């Protein structure tokens, strides 16, 4: 009796996880539907807003007693903009981002605010470049704090206290904005007084460097081309600021409660609080801002761990407030999916771990209906359609780019074990440091390293377990579960073995002294070392 009860319980847990995974996968189709219905109109509205904003700026009168010098030759007064560049040990990319920001065209007052928490040679680089830029006539302020309290959120808040700028642009160290960035974004604020922030679309400097970077490029392309475009197009949905490559209205930050280090995704947290306060976000799909992707398994997994934990922390913090708000039901449902999306990873891990136990069950529970296999296949392959549409929308060579989808599937599903830990820590309210992703910029090697969220051998063991479950599913005659199990096994092997190969490669090299560049707070002792090639920060 107890054995039968345990078997039935495991079976229903397994079936429930498969069902929820399928629901999250079907959510991708819902987002696509929103985009098809509203996307074209939203793109036209964004273009119209920018044009109307430029007209408003051209006729905006100067305040009494304000000299016109520095505000363009036609007498228009563009709002005071501060561009914040948060840095922490970014020797590879610090000079590049400072000079790119300084090269942006802007007819009004533009303050470059370098928020430098570095403890290595980055400080000397910043001081040298800042002196050069001041000599060239740029307004630049280097802000250094005695401690790194609050991490990036704390640095942004400190910078905000030191400026009276009306608009605040933010760029992470690995981004390289184009010269017309402010000319494209600032007018939007003049066209609509309820716009709280404007977000540009990321493109990628190092996308072609490896299979891993190509896979990430496909995933992030779809986030912007579909998710951000659809949420921005639907009048009742919330979009998120992506932490960089965007501009904030100072007033919206203040009314939303300001930057907070309560979560590891301070950008997502503030985005929702601002929109709950009545402001709106605007996504500009045509505004491309190049940045870097993580080129190492350690950097990729550390970044995803932070995003997974931070988004679930934000969900715990804000979902009750979202559901109590006066926002439409569509916004509440979509926001719930959006903030809890990374929950698919612990669910996927449970399916992998419980699979062999289910297929070892006897009686009727060992011959589960084809429903389970169908649910698992929907969960595995619906996102493939989603990502394929993203490539179609953005790239003329989309048929060739579809060849990257298998690698993206492996990389995404292979994060199940690491991100399951991230979700568990968020739900258990375990705090951890903000681990920034190492970057190499235009250099030949990566100077910094981060630790793996979990020891990679665990992922290899989970992969072997998934393969065993696929074998048992085959013996039970469930083709869908076999396909899903083999896909899970391949994904875990890809991430786990790739990480172990990275560690072995590091040990064969003589590591340069990172001089404070390695961040290890609250992570296990499996260390990713220094690798050649570019990496992405953020």
Distinct helix (H) and strand (E) counts, the chain = 18, 7
Taking the CA atoms of residue 106, residue 110, residue 115 and residue 119 in that order, the dihedral angle to the nearest 10 degrees is: 80
**Strand pairing partners for 87?**
116
Measured CA to CA, the distance from residue 525 to residue 370 in angstroms comes to 43
Residue 364 among the catalytic residues: no
* Sign (positive or negative) of CA dihedral 331, 334, 340, 342: negative
Q: How many CB atoms lie within 10 A of CB 461?
A: 14
As beta bridge partners, residue 68 has: none
Query: Of 522, 516, 398, which is closest to residue 122 (Cα–Cα)?
Result: 516
Cα–Cα separations (whole angstroms), residue 153 to 30, 243, 271, 276, 321? 33, 10, 13, 19, 21
Helix residue spans in 369-526 (DSSP H): 370-394, 398-401, 405-413, 416-427, 456-476, 479-507
From the list 116, 172, 267, 269, the catalytic residue is: 267
Give helix 479-507 / helix 344-359 axis angle, nearest 10°.
120
Give the integer Cα–Cα distance in Å for 204 and 294: 10
Q: What is the CA radius of gyration of the chain?
A: 24
Q: For 102, list phi and psi in degrees, rounded to 5.
A: -65, -25
Rounded CA separation 387/406 (Å)? 11
Give every CB contact of residue 349 below 8 A, 6+ residues apart in sequence: 416, 417, 420, 462
* Active site annotation includes 267: yes
Q: DSSP letters along 96-122, please?
A: HHHHHHHT---SS-EEEEEEE---STH
> Which residue among the candidates 116, 117, 174, 269 is catalytic per the annotation?
117
Contacts of 232 (CB under 8 A, 6+ apart): 42, 46, 239, 281, 282, 283
Contact 478, 368 (CB under 8 A): yes
* Tokens (6 digits) for 537: 């920060």
CA distances from 268 to 209, 239, 385, 405, 459 (A): 29, 9, 26, 27, 29
Residue count of the chain, please give it: 538
Q: How far apart are CA 521 and CA 21, in angstroms?
A: 32
Residue (of 521, 511, 517, 20) closest to 305 by Cα position:
521
Q: What is the DSSP letter of 326?
A: S
**DSSP-assigned beta bridge partners for residue 83:** 112, 169
> Do 449 and 298 form a contact (C-beta atoms < 8 A)?
yes
Reduced to 3 states (helix: H, G, I; strand: E, B; else coil), residue 312 is helix
The whole-angstrom separation of Cα 244 and Cα 260 is: 16
Token look-up 């953020």 returns 538
Task: Give the residue numbers annotated as catalytic, written as ranges.
Answer: 117, 267
């Amino acid at each position: 009796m107890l054995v039968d009860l345990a078997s039935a319980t495991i079976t229903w847990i397994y079936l429930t996880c498969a069902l929820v995974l399928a629901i999250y996968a079907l959510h991708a189709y819902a987002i696509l539907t929103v985009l098809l219905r509203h996307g074209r109109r939203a793109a036209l509205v964004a273009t119209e807003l920018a044009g109307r904003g430029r007209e408003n700026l051209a006729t905006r009168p100067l305040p009494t007693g304000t000299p016109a010098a520095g505000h363009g030759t036609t007498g228009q007064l563009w709002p005071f903009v501060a561009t914040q560049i948060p840095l922490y040990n970014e020797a590879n990319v610090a000079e590049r981002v400072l000079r790119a920001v300084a090269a942006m065209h802007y007819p009004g007052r533009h303050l470059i605010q370098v928020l430098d928490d570095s403890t290595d040679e980055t400080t000397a680089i910043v001081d040298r470049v800042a002196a050069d830029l001041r000599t060239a006539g740029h307004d630049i302020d280097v802000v250094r704090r005695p401690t790194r309290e609050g991490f990036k959120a704390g640095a942004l808040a400190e910078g905000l206290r030191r400026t009276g700028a009306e608009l605040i642009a933010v760029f992470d160290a690995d981004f390289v904005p184009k010269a017309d960035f402010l000319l494209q974004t600032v007018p939007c604020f003049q066209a609509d007084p309820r716009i709280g922030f404007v977000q540009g679309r990321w493109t990628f400097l190092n996308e072609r460097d490896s299979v891993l970077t190509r896979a990430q490029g496909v995933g992030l392309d779809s986030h912007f081309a579909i998710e951000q475009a659809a949420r921005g197009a639907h009048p009742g949905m919330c979009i998120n600021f992506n932490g960089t490559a965007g501009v904030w209205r100072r007033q919206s930050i203040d009314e939303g409660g300001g930057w907070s280090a309560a979560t590891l995704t301070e950008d997502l947290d503030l985005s929702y609080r601002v929109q709950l306060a009545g402001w709106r976000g605007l996504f500009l799909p045509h505004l491309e801002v190049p940045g870097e992707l993580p080129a190492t398994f350690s950097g990729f997994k550390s970044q995803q761990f932070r995003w997974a934990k931070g988004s679930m922390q934000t969900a715990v913090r804000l979902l009750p407030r979202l559901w109590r708000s006066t926002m439409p039901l569509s916004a509440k449902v979509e926001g719930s999916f959006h903030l809890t999306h990374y929950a698919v990873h612990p669910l996927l891990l449970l399916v992998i771990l419980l699979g062999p136990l289910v297929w070892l069950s006897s009686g009727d529970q060992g011959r589960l209906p084809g429903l389970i296999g169908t649910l698992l296949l929907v969960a595995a392959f619906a996102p493939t359609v989603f990502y394929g549409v993203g490539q179609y929308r953005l790239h003329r060579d989309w048929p060739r780019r579809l060849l990257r989808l298998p690698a993206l599937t492996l990389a995404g599903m292979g994060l199940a074990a690491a991100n399951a830990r991230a979700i568990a820590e968020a739900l258990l309210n375990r705090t951890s440091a903000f681990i920034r992703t190492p970057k190499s910029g235009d250099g030949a090697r990566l100077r910094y390293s981060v630790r793996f969220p979990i020891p990679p051998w665990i992922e290899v063991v989970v992969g072997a377990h998934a393969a065993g479950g696929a074998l048992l599913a085959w013996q039970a005659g469930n083709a869908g579960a076999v396909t899903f199990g083999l896909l899970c096994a391949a994904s875990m092997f890809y991430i786990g073995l790739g990480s172990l190969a990275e560690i072995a490669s590091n040990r064969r090299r003589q590591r340069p002294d990172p001089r404070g560049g390695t961040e290890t707070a609250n992570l296990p002792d499996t260390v990713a070392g220094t690798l050649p090639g570019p990496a992405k920060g953020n």
